Structure 1
Amino acid sequence: MKNSLKFIALSGTTGVTENFYIYEYGNDMIIVDCGVGFPEHDMLGVDLVIPDFSYVKKNISKLRGVLISHGHEDHLGALPFLLKEIKTPIYSTKLVAGFIEDKFEDYGLPSPRVVVFDPERDVISLGVFKVAPFRVSHSVPDGVGFAIDTPEGKIFHVPDYKFDWTPVDGKPFDVTRMVSLATGGVLGVASDSLGSTTPGYTESEREIEGKLEEIIRKGKRRVYFTTISSNISRVQQALQVAARLGRKVSFVGKSIDRKAEIARNLGYLHYSKDLVIPAKQAAKLPIERVMYIISGSYGQPGSALYRVALGDHDFLKIEANDLVVFSSDPAPPGSKTNVDFVVDKLIELNADVHYYDVQEDLHVSGHGSQKDILMLFGLLKPKYFMPIGGTVRHMRSYSLLAQSIGADGRNVFELTPGEIVEFKSGLARLSGKVPTRNILVDGLGVGDVGNVVLRDRQVLARDGVAIVLLMFDGANRVLVADPEIISRGFVYENKEKEFLLRAGKDLRRLIESKKRIDGKLLKDESQDFLEKYFYAKTGRRPMVLPLIVEV
């Protein structure tokens, strides 16, 4: 029986981040991208969300390698978690390889096997798959798309991209190679949909440098510039602006310092030796001659900018009229609450803050808009379309764009996590679904935080906890005293002491009315009675934790 090609979107189609895609044919399987997601505000205590690797582990004998398209966390950040469980080679460009090795070092893991390819000429053989990378434009240099030649035909996998003819690194989208690879016809395309609701073309990265210079030139005191640590092109522009304005630059924050060092060592970031100086040396210069390029553009708790905003940094302090420039995506999933918090704290310190709600075009998207997407469709002329990297609304807009140039709506697959598109004899159809779930990373734990744990954390954060001490004489099966109720985050004990004493007395009367008292009854009745009692009296539902002390 003839094999078929399967495209499995394990994650990355409905939540923008956590990109993880599988191509499978017979006994061969490859993965494209392995990214993290970021927790929503109600995922208390969760650091990261990673893809569910269960399907990969079950089919490990088929896996031929992992291809990484570019250096953003939502495309490579889950690699340390995947390679803790399996061993497989990783394929990427030179800069991305540097970021991957740094990521493993950050987790205290040995460097993985990373095979560096040249996107201008290489073809990678992985089982039945022949993969030809080609250069694309994005907000981070050295990004690629992939032409994947399969026994069923060619699939083009083009994650985050736009058609930027004047990129900061001087290397535009390699349209010539992509079109050459499309010779003979394209069966399908899986491509970035995040810009599908935005009209026109996306601006070039180069456009933003003049706007940044105009704002920074007006600054009379310290300048703090923040962007995504991996956005090397934006860092390059900030360095160029600082040099022209006579400011020395200091990198502040582990992530941005390390990525800048990697990019410079590999030849992707260029600046004179005397331009960048240590932060403590910068502190001795006149304040109008300093720019700090600082990590924390997403308001990450614990980041350098977060600590500066809270007045908690070791050697930096925001003062009135210091200039703070945010130059990154205004609201990636899960981050807006944190960013808003940091911006508000900076404004309270009377800093001059330039951020996303101020319409100054301080960020240019790395994602192609509607005209970019239509150009890709026109160049490749695929039969089938699979939107990736967006949300439900972006997939629908992408589908409508495809239909506007004559595509059959039935040939556009708007996939939810785990859904499979099967290609056989030139035709494609939905073919079932791989079971998937969110894997939550909490500190050192992976996958041990589930819905029950999250719900408990949400209750604790919203309504607090009531600890019930039950002094129980196990021999005679009686309570020896009224239950003592200790409140944490529920009601203020000193003010509501009588209320808690009364609740304890009422609980004791209920328990003593029972014919037979044991430990299970004490716990069950305490939880049930007090949850209802507290809600009736206060409208709140604290977590009730009975603690039995046998005497």
Structure 2
Amino acid sequence: MTLQPGRDDLYFLPLGGTGEVGQNAYLYGHAGSWLLVDLGISFADERLPGVDILLPDPGFIAERRDELAGIVITHAHEDHLGALPYLWERLRAPVYATPFTAAVLRRKFAEFGIADAVELIEIPQGGRFQVGPYDLEFVTVTHSVPEANMLVLRTDAGTTVHTGDWKLDPEPLVGAPFDRDRLAALGDENVRALVGDSTNALTPGHSGSEAAVRESLVNLIEGLTQRVAVTCFATNAARLESVAKAAEASGRRLALVGRAMHTIVRAAQDVGYLQDLPPLLDEREIDSVPRDQLLLLVTGSQGEARSALSRIAHDNHPWAELESGDAVIFSSRMIPGNEKAIHGVQNQLMLRGIDVLTEEDHFVHVSGHPCQDELRQLYDWVRPQVAVPMHGELRHLLAHERIARACGVAQRRVPADGQCIRLAPDPCEVVDRVLVGRIAVDGELLSPIDRGPVRERRKLGFQGAAVLTLAVDPDGHIEGDPQLSIYGLVPDTEEGAEMADAVLDAVERAVQRLPRRERVNDGSLRETARLAVRRTLQRITGRKPMTDVHLVRLG
């Protein structure tokens, strides 16, 4: 593909993050150069057995690595930066971030052994900087993590505001408040396009403030009488601090459980946040504290199988345990797609008599994303000529588009991953499409989900497998008894044995019918036997198993 933006062009090309929540990865193209904004992960479900993490496929820009001017990370959430350590070797471009996000990235890069290789450039909050032909500016906004930024991209083709994740929180508690004056001033810059967060576009009103959640958590925890655990997004530093305040108010010791909690606290403290936390209890000391004097802050709010909370729910965590009458507070929302996993953990907790408290029945969470009133306010400030919703499922993107239309935005375009949209010059439209996909973190390997081992394992899970070992003489006649192993298709009973015999009979008939010239050809003989196995099993079971034949030619 020869997609090449000119000096009069400004392109927007999402590799992930449109029509979905997670895997945010957005390219801007101008004057022969590309800029990548964010590179995040999402979590796999049961349809991809053995896979926890998914990455956007960077193939398009990896093939044009010499045209990639830089990678800008808007904030320190996994769905915006988590893929960067996995994929940086394919991109090898400088990375730009504000101090807190940079502190988180340094720890990740160190874990992957690439800390010395990555050029990580720290930009102050509100900073303005040049990357290739892009004149960039971070505008401070609030979110459920410190130092969230809108990104202003100024080019010869026009100015675009890329919102990242944001909200208008008057009391964020940790980190700077949103820069109201700077946001309001953007409307005087003749902004060409606003590319904006759509996650809460279906939700009326305002997202709410962290200060109100803190007060509610303190009151709630003070009323609980046994051991209490709170789970939330580890990156929500304000929520972590609120839980610490609740521990102090209720006379409890606070213990962090889960590596991500410790990582974020250290990163926050490196850049001056969370300096007033009380002394934290080591996980190994948990049992030394009376149950009514302990508060656990644990990872696993999204039901992740290997998280601390999931292990606690199944009573197999080495240090932390809960029992009947204890309480777990889910101070978070369910990310779309994680509902089944979260409900599974909650059900397991309740099965053991542990109380589960969520935002459905208590005020324990506010969203980090803008609701409808905040979206209208932003459009009132910025007054763009073009609106492009991003970061959300299709229903969210369409709701955002309706809001932009009601706010008087003349041109609107709902994108899909892989669509290259011309933001400037007029008209705003799709000018090309590129191949996009998903890469699974499969153990120590990165594998596309539509081919290779992940696809094979998925097929095994749905269709089963059969392996035939067949010995033949030089003329292709079967010697001895063929051996057939069937997985996930037939029962281990007499009926199953009869099914296997039917398959072997079909193989013998198929081989006997072959002309001699095909029986002496290993490829023809193997494929004939394979098709006989697969077709017979499909007729018996209704499934199309993965089938392999081991051919042994004797003599």
TM-score normalised by L of structure 2? 0.92
- Displacement of 1:213 after TM fit? 2.9
Q: What amino acid sits opposite 2:160 in the alignment?
A: I
Match of 1:332 among 325, 330, 336: 336
CA distance in 2: counterparts of 1:232 and 1:512, whole angstroms? 71
CA contact (8 A) 2:489 2:541 kept: no
SS in 2 for 1:505: helix
Q: What amino acid sits opposite 2:552 in the alignment?
A: V
Find the counterpart in structure 2 of residue 444 from structure 1.
Answer: 444
Find the counterpart in structure 1 of residue 344 from structure 2.
Answer: 341
CA distance in 1: counterparts of 2:176 and 2:7, whole angstroms? 42
CA contact (8 A) 1:141 1:169 kept: yes
SS in 1 for 2:265: helix
Aligned positions of 1:280-359 closer than 5 A: 280-333=284-337, 335-355=338-358, 358-359=360-361
Residues 470 and 219 from structure 1, CA distance in 2 versus in 1: closer, same or farther, beyond 3 angstroms? Answer: farther
Q: What amino acid sits opposite 2:438 in the alignment?
A: N
- Displacement of 1:25 after TM fit? 1.7
Find the counterpart in structure 1 of residue 430 from structure 2.
Answer: 430
Match of 1:74 among 76, 79, 86: 79
Find the counterpart in structure 2 of residue 236 from structure 1.
Answer: 241
Match of 1:400 among 399, 402, 414: 402
Find the counterpart in structure 2 of residue 534 from structure 1.
Answer: 537
State percent identity of aligned pairs.
26
CA distance in 2: counterparts of 1:500 and 1:52, whole angstroms? 42
Q: Which moved more, 1:68-77 or 1:28-37?
A: 28-37
Find the counterpart in structure 2 of residue 418 from structure 1.
Answer: 418
Residues 435 and 489 from structure 1, CA distance in 2 versus in 1: closer, same or farther, beyond 3 angstroms? Answer: closer
- Displacement of 1:380 after TM fit? 0.5
Find the counterpart in structure 2 of residue 360 from structure 1.
Answer: 362
Map Cα deviations across residues 170-229 of structure 1 (whole Å, 9 max, x no partner). Answer: 632111122234433211111111111111111112222233234323332221211122
Q: What amino acid sits opposite 1:400 in the alignment?
A: R
Q: Which moved more, 1:304-313 or 1:377-386?
A: 304-313
- Displacement of 1:455 after TM fit? 4.3
Q: What amino acid sits opposite 2:320 in the alignment?
A: L
- Displacement of 1:69 after TM fit? 0.7
- Displacement of 1:144 after TM fit? 0.7
Q: Which moved more, 1:495-504 or 1:369-378?
A: 495-504
Q: What amino acid sits opposite 1:538 in the alignment?
A: T
CA contact (8 A) 1:164 1:173 kept: yes
- Displacement of 1:534 after TM fit? 2.5
- Displacement of 1:547 after TM fit? 2.2
Find the counterpart in structure 2 of residue 115 from structure 1.
Answer: 121
SS in 1 for 2:429: strand
Match of 2:139 among 134, 157, 171: 134
Matched, 1:381 2:383: yes
Q: What amino acid sits opposite 2:125 in the alignment?
A: P
Map Cα deviations across residues 42-77 of structure 1 (whole Å, 9 max, x no partner). Answer: 122333222232332333333322111111011111
Match of 1:191 among 189, 196, 200: 196
Matched, 1:490 2:492: no
Find the counterpart in structure 2 of residue 460 from structure 1.
Answer: 460
- Displacement of 1:426 after TM fit? 6.2
CA contact (8 A) 2:510 2:529 kept: no
Find the counterpart in structure 2 of residue 263 from structure 1.
Answer: 268
TM-score normalised by L of structure 1? 0.92
Q: Which moved more, 1:154-163 or 1:80-89?
A: 80-89
Matched, 1:477 2:476: yes
CA distance in 2: counterparts of 1:186 and 1:432, whole angstroms? 24
CA distance in 2: counterparts of 1:510 and 1:2, whole angstroms? 65
CA distance in 1: counterparts of 2:123 and 2:444, whole angstroms? 33
CA contact (8 A) 1:9 1:419 kept: yes
CA contact (8 A) 1:162 1:202 kept: yes
CA contact (8 A) 2:147 2:175 kept: no
Find the counterpart in structure 2 of residue 227 from structure 1.
Answer: 232
Aligned positions of 1:76-95 closer than 5 A: 76-95=81-100
Aligned positions of 1:36-47 closer than 5 A: 36-47=41-52
Residues 339 and 89 from structure 1, CA distance in 2 versus in 1: closer, same or farther, beyond 3 angstroms? Answer: same
SS in 2 for 1:146: strand
- Displacement of 1:448 after TM fit? 4.6
- Displacement of 1:234 after TM fit? 1.4
CA contact (8 A) 1:139 1:233 kept: yes
Residues 487 and 215 from structure 1, CA distance in 2 versus in 1: closer, same or farther, beyond 3 angstroms? Answer: farther
CA distance in 2: counterparts of 1:376 and 1:181, whole angstroms? 10
Map Cα deviations across residues 437-460 of structure 1 (whole Å, 9 max, x no partner). Answer: 223332222245434644432332
Q: Which runs of 5+ in 1 are unaligned?
A: none
CA distance in 2: counterparts of 1:515 and 1:61, whole angstroms? 57
CA contact (8 A) 2:98 2:123 kept: yes
CA distance in 2: counterparts of 1:77 and 1:256, whole angstroms? 16
Aligned positions of 1:124-163 closer than 5 A: 124-163=129-168
CA contact (8 A) 2:217 2:246 kept: yes
Residues 164 and 543 from structure 1, CA distance in 2 versus in 1: closer, same or farther, beyond 3 angstroms? Answer: same
- Displacement of 1:143 after TM fit? 0.5
